[in-house]
Amino acid sequence: MKLKEIYDLVVNMGIEHDPRGIETVQKQLEREKRKIEDLKEEERKDVDPDRYFNPYTDTRVLYGDLDREIQRVLVGVDMEVGEVLLADRLGEKGRKIDLIMAHHPEGKATAGLYDVMHLQEDLLAQLGVPINVAEGIMAGRIAEVRRGLMPLNHNRAVDAARLLDLPLMCCHTPADNMVSEFVQKHLDEKQCQTLKEVVKALKEIPEYAEAVKTGAGPTVVVGSPERRAGKIFVDFTGGTSGSEDAYAKLSAAGVGTLVVMHISEKHRKEAEKNHVNVIIAGHMASDSLGMNLILDELVKKGLEVIPCSGLIRVQR
């Protein structure tokens, strides 16, 4: 496959499995196109052309000729300078790496992470929170994340990849969309009544079962195992953690249990205060599952995948 074909496949899978629905995503892309076209010519020069077709600013080809042929891919959750050097070392040992694929964003995709958080506004609206309220409670958090990203030295891995001429890309929200859909469907089918049953159902998924062995499996952090789950919402996508103000709205909208990849202490306390149960499914396991669902499609097309950096590779 050419690098462009891999990139297009990743983006299209993200759109196809976006929890907002394909039509909503297409409307977003149309609004983005109009916004770019309304800019002055001088301002338009600074716009990333990928915004015309890719709604996920945290997913990009960061280095490499899009026409380059790819056969072997080194894939991990965090692919930083160390993993770039690992790819080069593998090449020296006879296992040439044609592409480094990260889950977590690097380079300009890190700088653009805050922008995909608007996805969470639509998810809150789907759960019954008025869209004006959803946008209001997310605005401050999105601005906070954007400011937090500004001082980062986010291009280090990209610079290393360029110096070693190793193509590098990242696949964040598309993989998160995949795992959100997969786990939500799994839990809906299981019709779990208690938090204990939710944890048990998660452990039936191989990535979570493997994570249990390393002490990073599903864990109840708000509530007790025997507490009833109520309405379960799998909150895995949308860039990063949303606003702590959302828990009161989720509780009022009837959400009984949140299943998340991870949660800060500040967010955990807000969930507890609003009587929303929280289960941490596991960060690396969840990211691995999302990536695996995409990697399986690449393997079907003849690519060889070498997992590293926290990726629990399970082929379906």
Domain boundaries, the chain: 3-173+286-308, 178-282
What value does the mean pLDDT take over residues 220-244?
A: 95
Element counts in the chain: helices (H) and strands (E): 14, 9
Domains 3-173+286-308 and 178-282 share a fold: yes
What value does the mean pLDDT take over residues 15-24?
A: 96
Q: What is the pLDDT of residue 162?
A: 98
Q: What is the pLDDT of residue 55?
A: 97
Could you please state the CATH topology (level 3) that the domain comprising 178-282 is classified under.
3.40.1390
Average pLDDT of the chain, as a whole number: 96
| pLDDT above 90: residue 234 | yes
| pLDDT above 90: residue 158 | yes
Q: What is the pLDDT of residue 195?
A: 98
With the C-alpha atoms ordered 306, 183, 180, 309, is the resulting torsion angle positive or negative?
Answer: negative
Tokens 């380079």 belong to: 107
Distance, CA of 230 to CA of 254 (rounded, Å): 8
What value does the mean pLDDT take over residues 45-65?
A: 96
Q: At what angle do helices 195-203 and 206-213 cross, to 10 degrees?
A: 100
Distance, CA of 274 to CA of 257 (rounded, Å): 11
| pLDDT above 90: residue 166 | yes
| H or E stretch at 288 | helix 283-300
Tokens 């009022």 belong to: 252
Say if CB 77 and CB 104 are below 8 A apart: yes
Best CA proximity match to 113, nearest among 160, 168, 172, 161: 172
pLDDT category at 41 given cuts 50, 70, 90 is confident
3-state helix, strand, coil in the chain (%, to 5): 50, 15, 35
Could you please state the CATH topology (level 3) that the domain comprising 3-173+286-308 is classified under.
3.40.1390
What value does the mean pLDDT take over residues 50-55?
A: 96
| pLDDT above 90: residue 78 | yes
pLDDT category at 191 given cuts 50, 70, 90 is very high
pLDDT category at 56 given cuts 50, 70, 90 is very high
Sheet holding 72-76, edge to edge: 60-63, 168-170, 99-102, 72-76, 304-308
